[in-house]
């Protein structure tokens, strides 16, 4: 059974940092792109960042470039999202997802973790 389990969310003041983790299990993800998405109240889910598991290529939304860093640790089958210089508009539920290359649809999703940034 494939599982993506997020952790690391919480409440932080503007300008602070958080690191989210996504523990992946149940299959090999070497042919997948792992991504982070977020959804704020009343808004649609949006792309945040992604990483190609096999070669480490990364992708970022313009709104987080220079502030967020996505990485992976193969030995732990875990993907991380380091979030620095957080802003109140980063407040959302953050989801981890996996997409088989080269398809365009995510096959697997985590349950989400809440990130709240106070001003």
Give the mean model confidence (pLDDT) for residues 8-15: 98
Task: Give the tens place of pLDDT for each residue, 94-116.
Answer: 999 999 998 889 999 999 999 99
Outline where DSSP puts E strands in the chain: 3-7, 10-13, 18-25, 32-39, 46-52, 58-60, 68-73, 78-83, 92-100, 108-109, 113-118
Task: Give the tens place of pLDDT for each residue, 52-63.
Answer: 999 999 999 999
């Amino acid at each position: 059974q494939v599982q993506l389990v997020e952790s690391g969310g919480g409440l932080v003041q503007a300008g602070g940092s958080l690191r989210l983790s996504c523990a992946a299990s149940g299959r090999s993800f070497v042919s997948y792109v792992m991504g982070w998405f977020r959804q704020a109240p009343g808004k649609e889910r949006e792309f945040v960042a992604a990483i190609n598991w096999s070669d480490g290529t990364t992708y970022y939304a313009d709104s987080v470039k220079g502030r967020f860093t996505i990485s992976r640790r193969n030995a732990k089958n875990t993907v991380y999202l380091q979030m620095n210089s957080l802003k109140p508009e980063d407040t959302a539920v953050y989801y981890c997802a996996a997409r088989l290359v080269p398809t365009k649809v995510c096959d697997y999703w985590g349950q989400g973790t809440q990130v709240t940034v106070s001003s």
